[in-house]
Structure 1
Amino acid sequence: MKLKQAIIFSVAILAGGACLAQSDVKEDFKPSTLNQPGQLYPQVNSQGYARFRIVAPYADSVKVSLGLGGRGGTKLTKTGDSVWTGTTEGPMDEGFHYYHLTVDGGTFNDPGTLNFYGSTRWESGIEIPAHDQDFYALKDVPHGNVQQILFPSKSTSTSRRAFVYTPPGYEKDKSKKYPVLYLQHGWGEDETAWSNQGHANLIMDNLIAEGKIKPFIIVMTYGMTNELKWGHLKEFKVDSFQTVLVDELIPYVDANFRTISDRAHRAMAGLSMGGFETHSITLNKPDVFSYYGLLSGGIYTPEELGGKTKPKLIFISCGSRENPDRVNDAAAKLKDAGFNVVSFVSQNTAHEFQTWRRSLHELAPLLFKD
């Protein structure tokens, strides 16, 4: 049956984790921190369960889907003439998750929550409080700025967008120059991901306030990945994005920001698909970047790095629910071959933003130390 009037949604999502009996679920639910102003649902409890309430009087079925591409999910139960309610069957992983609703076969976002670009569309988002969330919390410390820039791209015959994080104090000391990290999003996301979903700016602000890192600039741009269909990663060609990044964006940033514009003070890293881009571009252009970071984005081997300008640091990471043995084994082989490499495994997370938030938090203090 088709919907005959507007549907008011408020929802949460199901994710992996051990299930408890419903009688063991604590009744300390609170609205998700990503809810729209004044919206009470979805709600999350201290165990990581999510509870939802949807007003959809003319719907015959409602399902909550989650994760990249909307895999998984749970069916909701109609408890009255208009209301669909329920609690997830198990606790969700800590951190950020995408989700959407399937109502009578149609895909909808939840007006109860904010939207985030992922899975090649604007998806609803929910945040499960993490035990270590303090490192990306909004604190009373000096804050940097995240600004949008539009840079000319002759290779694509258009102006392209990037977001640039400048650290606290950048506007005051006009003589100081900074290293730069080019930080890439994953497949189906865009240049807003690292700031909105990843809290990269807050991670940086807090590390700088704690004196744990040397301040640097972060540049985040669209990786030209959304044209690639899911499951066809091997067909992706990095050439066009490499031209945009190396020949157009980097010169623009160096000309318009106070950067230290040499290889020794330039890094590239990316999550998932952004890691694939990082891997390819750093191997193709070893004289452009000196620090490499693959966050759930594959590995390097000594053989493919052989004969090229040696990086100052290689950082590879993943979640413990991904393929940590591959990451650790790769790091061991690179160390044996004489490379400076650090591996990191995020505990109890998978291919998700909590893994990548933690990875950036580990990577940042390792950059530009000399």
Structure 2
Amino acid sequence: MTTRLLLFHSALLLMGLTAGWSQPSPFRPAASNLPGVDYPAIAPDGRVIVRLKAPAATSVQLQGGDGLLKEPLNLVKDAEGSWNGTIASAGLGFHYYWFTVDGVRVNDPGSDAYFGYGRPTSGIEMPTPGEDFHLLKQVPHGDVRERWYYSNITDSWRRAFVYTPPGYDASPKKRYPILYLLHGAGENERGWSLQGHMSAILDNLIADKRAVPMIVVMDNGYATAKGESTTAAAGLSDMEKRAATLEQVYIKEIIPTMEANYRTLRGRENRAMAGLSMGGLQTMLIGMKHTDLFSYYGFFSGAIRNTVLTDPKTAFNGVFANASAFNKQVKLLWFGAGSEEKPFVSMMTDTRRKLSDAGITSLGYESPGTYHEWHTWRRCLHEFAPLLFK
């Protein structure tokens, strides 16, 4: 064996990529792996080992969402036909990822799949040392229920997931305030429950008496009227146009359906709307037109173009024109973003400055060290929910 081959073989041994290799300490299977699957494997320092069995492939890359890795990672093929590689330092929380095998995008057969990027996509859950607000604990738990309803506006069946707080069924006469919680682009109504760990966050906050028990509705953020193209919105302009149809679905169908089937407290002071990214934009486009219906608003990494609030005093039919009246009517305008998603921090800062100049009160939150990703939005919900319905 030549010196070059010896060095290459030694490097493979150090990386654990040779045939017959077993998972090295301190790596452990990710919590998002399918049962009994060893890879991806995570070390406490944020390293991640990935592996894909593809003996006939000539090239395999790993790619992923914001916060996982900055550039595609070229994997190395071992003697058994598995492709292996190590992410040097993955960010905290949940991340989407996938393999590109000879130019074709494929999911990891060892990982659970989540709806992201407009399709089922592999996901990995990175532990967050010292942070467990989003994890299941030994506290009373609420339920997440599936609710189907027919939409005459879209001429289709639609689905919402509805969180009911602990004790909902045991107290049949008790009524609750309601939060309408919107997902982001390329995701669907499952996102907040699965990727977002919404129910664990609310259960823990309610158990600690930090949040008021509430109902949470997570509906699909895409709506096209009869005869319209069903192509997904590609940019902010498309999102704004699509929000007009979704507005009608919310006002005429979602709110009446949910409040007829669940024990809600009526009145604007018992309703909140919040969303992440595209859902943050939708919250502004829909919610600001209906301050008669909502008193609390949350914009998590909200995709709010400057043109939406070029002049707050004329935006949304002048809802901000009388600052004193608005501040009395609306209990909370809350903005959040991850410190590393710079464009969204800029949008948040610019929007809040314009609102402040117009006399409108708002609150802001910056999640330290996170990107345009679910850990940012989990933290946003954790900070936002305790402020509701107080």
Query: TM-score, normalized by length of structure 2?
Result: 0.83
Q: Which residue of 2 aligns with 1:3?
A: none
Residues 17-96 of structure 1: pairs in structure 2 closer than 5 A? 27-67=25-65, 72-88=71-87, 90-96=88-94
Which of 174, 177, 180 is matched with 1:176 structurally? 174
Task: Structure 2: give runs of 5+ residues left out of the alignment.
Answer: 1-14, 16-23, 224-229
Which of 234, 242, 247 is matched with 2:247 structurally? 242
Instruction: Give the distance between the partners of 1:366 and 1:339, measured in 2 at CA.
Output: 18
Q: Which residue of 2 aligns with 1:284?
A: 289
Contact 2:302 2:348 survives alignment (8 Å): no
Instruction: Give the distance between the partners of 1:188 and 1:198, measured in 2 at CA.
Output: 15
Instruction: Give the distance between the partners of 1:281 and 1:151, measured in 2 at CA.
Output: 21
Letter in 2 for 1:353: W
Instruction: Give the distance between the partners of 1:328 and 1:131, measured in 2 at CA.
Output: 29
Residues 135-284 of structure 1: pairs in structure 2 closer than 5 A? 135-224=133-222, 227-230=231-234, 232-236=235-239, 237=241, 238-284=243-289
Instruction: Give the distance between the partners of 1:221 and 1:257, measured in 2 at CA.
Output: 15
Instruction: Give the distance between the partners of 1:265 and 1:81, measured in 2 at CA.
Output: 60
Look up the SS of the partner of 2:132 in the other structure: helix
Instruction: Give the distance between the partners of 1:127 and 1:272, measured in 2 at CA.
Output: 20
Look up the SS of the partner of 1:135 in the other structure: coil
Letter in 1 for 2:54: A
Look up the SS of the partner of 2:125 in the other structure: strand
Which of 113, 116, 125 is matched with 1:115 structurally? 113
Contact 2:278 2:303 survives alignment (8 Å): no
Matched, 1:367 2:388: yes
Contact 2:73 2:85 survives alignment (8 Å): no
Q: 1:292 to 1:132 in 2, by over 3 A?
A: farther
CA RMSD of aligned residues (A): 2.3
Q: Which residue of 1 aligns with 2:12?
A: none
Letter in 2 for 1:270: G
Deviation digits for residues 7-35 of structure 1 (CA, Å, limit 9, x no counterpart): xxxxxxxxxxxxxxx9xxx9511110000
Identity of aligned residues (%): 44
Look up the SS of the partner of 1:246 in the other structure: helix
Deviation digits for residues 312-334 of structure 1 (CA, Å, limit 9, x no counterpart): 10000100012335424543553
Q: Which residue of 2 aligns with 1:131?
A: 129
Contact 1:312 1:340 survives alignment (8 Å): no
Instruction: Give the distance between the partners of 1:34 and 1:83, measured in 2 at CA.
Output: 20
Deviation at 1:91, TM superposition (A): 0.6
Deviation at 1:227, TM superposition (A): 3.1
Q: Which residue of 1 aligns with 2:373?
A: 352
Instruction: Give the distance between the partners of 1:144 and 1:108, measured in 2 at CA.
Output: 35
Deviation at 1:211, TM superposition (A): 0.8
Look up the SS of the partner of 1:134 in the other structure: coil
Q: 1:240 to 1:333 in 2, by over 3 A?
A: closer
Instruction: Give the distance between the partners of 2:144 and 2:273, measured in 1 at CA.
Output: 18
Find the structure with the greater CA-based Rg.
Answer: 2
Contact 2:320 2:360 survives alignment (8 Å): no
Instruction: Give the distance between the partners of 1:83 and 1:214, measured in 2 at CA.
Output: 50
Contact 1:95 1:354 survives alignment (8 Å): yes
Instruction: Give the distance between the partners of 1:298 and 1:176, measured in 2 at CA.
Output: 36
Instruction: Give the distance between the partners of 1:84 and 1:152, measured in 2 at CA.
Output: 46
Letter in 1 for 2:232: L
Look up the SS of the partner of 1:260 in the other structure: coil
Deviation at 1:336, TM superposition (A): 5.5
Q: Which residue of 2 aligns with 1:8?
A: none
Letter in 2 for 1:126: I
Q: Which residue of 2 aligns with 1:297?
A: 302
Deviation at 1:337, TM superposition (A): 4.2
Deviation at 1:339, TM superposition (A): 3.3
Deviation digits for residues 112-163 of structure 1 (CA, Å, limit 9, x no counterpart): 0100000000000001111343101111110000000012211112221000
Q: Which residue of 2 aligns with 1:306?
A: 320
Letter in 2 for 1:313: L
Deviation digits for residues 178-210 of structure 1 (CA, Å, limit 9, x no counterpart): 110000000000000000000000000000011
